[in-house]
Structure 1
Amino acid sequence: MTITGYLLHAPRVAIRHVRRTDHEELSALTRASAEMLHRWLGARENTVEAFESYLERFERPTHEGFVICLRDTGAIVGGANINNIVRGALQGGTLGYTAYAPTTGRGYMTEGLGLVIRYAFDELGLHRLEANIQPDNTPSLNLVRRLGFRREGCSPGFQLINGVWRDHERWALTTEMTDAVAPLRQYAQ
Structure 2
Amino acid sequence: MLTEGDVTLRPIRQRDQSAWREVNRRNRDWLRPWEATIPPPTPSGPITHRPTYRQMVRHLRTEAKAGRMLPFVIEYQGRMVGQLTVAGITWGSMCSAHIGYWVDQDIAGRGVMPTAVALAVDHCFFRMGLHRIEVCIRPENGPSRRVVEKLGFREEGLRPRYLHIDGGWRDHLVFALTAEEVPHGMLTRWRSRRSSPGDWKSPSS
User: TM-score interval w.r.t. the shorter chain?
Assistant: 0.7 to 0.9
Deviations 1:90-126 (A, max 9, x none): 1100111111123222111111111111111112111
Which one of the candidate residues 36, 42, 56 is aligned to 2:30? 36
1:115–1:184 contact (8 Å) kept in structure 2: no
Which one of the candidate residues 52, 64, 68 is aligned to 2:58? 52
Partner of 1:82: 86
Letter in 1 for 2:164: L
Deviations 1:29-74 (A, max 9, x none): 111111001001156655433443344332321111112212xx42
Percent identical:
30
Aligned 1:150-169 pairs, distance under 5 A: 150-169=154-173
Partner of 1:67: 73
Distance 1:186 1:140 in 2: 16
SS of the equivalent of 2:171 reads strand
Structure 1 stretches of 5 or more lacking a match?
1-6
2:122–2:185 contact (8 Å) kept in structure 1: no
1:8–1:16 contact (8 Å) kept in structure 2: yes
Partner of 1:4: none
Report deviation, 1:162.
Answer: 2.6
Distance 1:168 1:117 in 2: 20
Go from structure 1 to structure 2 and tell me whether the alpha carbon gap of 1:103 and 1:45 turns closer, same or farther (over 3 Å shift).
farther
Structure 2 stretches of 5 or more lacking a match?
38-49, 192-205
Corresponding pairs, count? 179
Letter in 1 for 2:24: T
Go from structure 1 to structure 2 and tell me whether the alpha carbon gap of 1:85 and 1:181 turns closer, same or farther (over 3 Å shift).
closer
Letter in 2 for 1:64: L
Go from structure 1 to structure 2 and tell me whether the alpha carbon gap of 1:110 and 1:94 turns closer, same or farther (over 3 Å shift).
same
Distance 2:187 2:83 in 1: 18
Aligned 1:125-144 pairs, distance under 5 A: 125-144=129-148
Distance 1:95 1:132 in 2: 8
The root-mean-square deviation of aligned C-alpha atoms, in Å, is: 2.1
Distance 1:162 1:185 in 2: 33
Larger Rg: 2
Worse overlay, 157-166 or 56-65: 56-65
Distance 1:54 1:149 in 2: 26
1:101 paired with 2:101, answer no
Go from structure 1 to structure 2 and tell me whether the alpha carbon gap of 1:182 and 1:127 turns closer, same or farther (over 3 Å shift).
closer
